[in-house]
Amino acid sequence: MSVALRIGAAAFAITVAGLVLNGAGGARAAAADGGATQSVFARGRYLVVIGACNDCHTPGWRESDGSLPPSRWLTGSRIGFRGDWGTSYPVNLRLEFQALGEDQWVLAVRTRGGHPPMIWHDLRALTVADRHAIFAFIHSLGPAGVPAPAAIPPWREPSTPYVETRPRNPSPP
């Protein structure tokens, strides 16, 4: 699924405006995170938005047309994605990044696979500097929310809402 197809010109304009308008918040985060610069946080925020991280990891993102405040970003979801692998849930990145070190995140991007629809293969195309910027931005948001549900094997029916991702053939006419 192409990011370019999912992020339109309006989302890009909102992102740029958000980066400009929220510069002061990035400066506070940079000071609190000890060393990362405002430009690193801005780059991380930009990559999170254009990388469509919020599409799955932020409840209500799509319904809000991308207008949720960063305080609500990346808290995971109880809506699963069900396929041949079972049912997986978008993790709460804000809790995950508090538990991970930056080097662990960079290693995970380089080596991890995992359940669809997570696009680990696309993350591997990022530069090391971009991976660090994403980590710095998400880590600066601080912990929020609750952990997402654990993955469910294919033979178990999920008890939460889910999106069916198995290809289906149309019924013959």
pTM above 0.85, yes or no: no
Q: If you count DSSP H runs as helices and E runs as strands, how many of each does the chain have, helices first?
A: 9, 3
Average pLDDT, the chain: 81
Residue 81, SS3 per DSSP: strand
Q: Report the residue count for the chain.
A: 173
Give dist(CA 28, CA 139) in Å, integer. 13
Task: Give which of 28, 14, 41, 12 is closest to 132, Cα–Cα.
Answer: 41
Segment 19-49, tens digit of pLDDT: 333 333 333 334 344 566 889 999 999 999 9
Per-residue pLDDT band at 5 (split at 50, 70, 90): very low
Tokens of 152: 């469910």
Query: What's the confidence (pLDDT) of residue 4?
Result: 34
Cα dihedral sign for 100, 101, 105, 108?
negative
Give dist(CA 62, CA 25) in Å, integer. 23
Segment 90-136, tens digit of pLDDT: 999 999 999 988 999 888 888 887 778 888 888 889 999 999 999 99
Give dist(CA 8, CA 156) in Å, integer. 37
Residue appearing with tokens 């654990």: 150
Task: Give which of 26, 31, 67 is closest to 49, Cα–Cα.
Answer: 67
Tell me the pairing of strands 80-83 and 86-88: antiparallel
Residue 87, SS3 per DSSP: strand
Residue appearing with tokens 């430009």: 39
Domain limits, the chain? 3-80+90-150
Query: What's the confidence (pLDDT) of residue 28?
Result: 35
Backbone angles phi, psi at 45, to 5 degrees: -60, -45
Residue 2 clears pLDDT 80, i.e. is over it: no
